[in-house]
Amino acid sequence: MKKHFSLKLNFKIAFLFIFISLQTISMEQEKPTEFLFAAMGYYEQGEYQKSAQIFKQYAGKPVPVAEPFCLDLVKKNHMDPFEPIPFNGETGEQEKAHRWFSAAQKFKILKHKKSKQLTDFLEEAKNAGNGPLLYLIGTLYETGTKQIKVDKNKAKEVFLLALQNRDLRAIFGLKRVCSSEYFNKISMNGLSLAKINQAFSLMPLLHHDEGQIFASLSGFFSNSSETFPNFLYLAAQFGYPKAQFTWGQEHYENESQILYWMMQSAEHGNLGALGLCGHMIEYGRGMDINNKTAYAYFKRAANHPQATALDFHNFAAMHQTGKGTTLKIMTDIKTL
């Protein structure tokens, strides 16, 4: 009897994975838009109005790396004043954010340097392990200036140094200057999950929007059979909910790990993850059975703007069986 129940339950969870995955097929049609990295790029090029158009969505929000840029754009009259958020100094986020902002300030000077002077700055940044400044120096070799000729090989060398010094923007620089074959090689072999974890921990706290950009590198938005799981993992680490859902679904057999990533994705409002968390917790998959917690996930799914008939069914079923709630079904429906 227990074996029959287990088989039935495994089938149910598998069916949910398939059903929810079908709901997300439209992901392939998404195109990453411009977020923090783009805003920094515009700022570094002196295109402050374009930079402000992106940065303003992060002003006064818990995104430490954006704050010094936003405050400077307020001084330049490109953004309205806002109330900064006090950050916990113990996390080191402000120090990391200041390093990126400081590099952007130095970049304005570097653009006018001659080749020998830029080489001196490169050595200084290399010795200091300054990833953000190395990345920006790499862009100067990539595009060239009035004083410096375009040198893609030198740009590749500097981007690799920036990546070694924990600036993950260098991944995009390498994609721009390297051949597809070389980029695919380093993507598969040079970026282990351990290195990504280390780099991610030393970067300033960005916004989960940025995860969408890394998801694009993984092949997540294309129909290509060539995919790069390490980039998908990076997107999940950044908090991109659809990447978190896919990473948990495709890369783990351990139910506690699957549930962990589903809960991360649900925290960012992913509808499929909300429903799956409810079912896993209802049946004790990945953690002990907790009907109140399962009920809470089902209720959030039913409240979701894109809730489906399945989400309403799951929510109603909890009332029908009396799991996690003492409210009658018609009473609670009025609270939705």
**pLDDT tens per residue across span 36-66:** 888 889 999 899 999 999 999 888 887 788 8
Q: Which residues of 88-100 are buried (b: 16+ CB within 10 A; e: fewer)?
A: eeeeebbebbebb
Q: Are 239 and 208 in contact (CB under 8 A)?
A: yes
Question: Does one domain contain both 41 and 99?
Answer: yes
Question: Does one domain contain both 213 and 298?
Answer: no
Question: Does one domain contain both 84 and 182?
Answer: yes
pLDDT at 28: 39
Q: Are 134 and 126 in contact (CB under 8 A)?
A: yes
The answer to whether position 230 is within a domain reads no
Average pLDDT, stretch 303-326? Answer: 87
Show Cβ contacts of residue 314 under 8 Å, excluding neighbours closer than 6 positions: 275, 278, 279, 298, 301, 302
Question: Does one domain contain both 96 and 199?
Answer: yes
pLDDT at 106: 92
Range of the domain at 113: 36-217
Question: Does one domain contain both 132 and 267?
Answer: no
Amino acid at site 15: F
Six-digit token string for 147: 């004083």
What is the H or E stretch that residue 86 is in? none
Question: Does one domain contain both 57 and 18?
Answer: no
Q: Where are the alpha helices (DSSP H) in the chain?
A: 2-23, 36-44, 48-55, 67-75, 93-110, 115-128, 131-143, 152-164, 170-177, 180-189, 193-202, 209-217, 229-237, 241-250, 255-267, 271-282, 291-303, 309-321, 329-333
Question: Does one domain contain both 195 and 51?
Answer: yes
- Burial of residue 5 (number of CB atoms within 10 Å: 0-12, 13-18, 19+): exposed
pLDDT at 23: 47
Question: Does one domain contain both 109 and 145?
Answer: yes
- What is the Cα–Cα distance from 322 to 314, expressed in whole angstroms? 12
Average pLDDT, stretch 293-314? Answer: 91
Question: Does one domain contain both 143 and 255?
Answer: no
Q: pTM for the whole thing? A: 0.62
- What is the Cα–Cα distance from 268 to 150, expressed in whole angstroms? 42
- What is the Cα–Cα distance from 175 to 37, expressed in whole angstroms? 15
Residue 148, helix vs strand vs coil? coil
Question: Does one domain contain both 128 and 208?
Answer: yes
Compare 31 and 168 and report the one with higher pLDDT: 168
- What is the Cα–Cα distance from 117 to 106, expressed in whole angstroms? 13
Show Cβ contacts of residue 318 under 8 Å, excluding neighbours closer than 6 positions: 282, 291, 294, 295, 298, 324, 325
- Per-residue pLDDT band for 153 (boundaries 50, 70, 90) equals very high
Question: Does one domain contain both 313 and 202?
Answer: no
Question: Does one domain contain both 52 and 123?
Answer: yes
Q: Are 34 and 64 in contact (CB under 8 A)?
A: no
| Model pLDDT for residues 99-123, shown as the tens digit of each residue | 889 999 999 889 888 888 999 999 9
pLDDT over 90 at 274, yes or no: yes
Amino acid at site 50: K
Total structural domains in the chain? 2
Domain with residue 316: its CATH number is 1.25.40.10
Q: Which of 271, 201, 263, 272 is nearest to 238 (CA)?
A: 201
- What is the Cα–Cα distance from 159 to 137, expressed in whole angstroms? 8
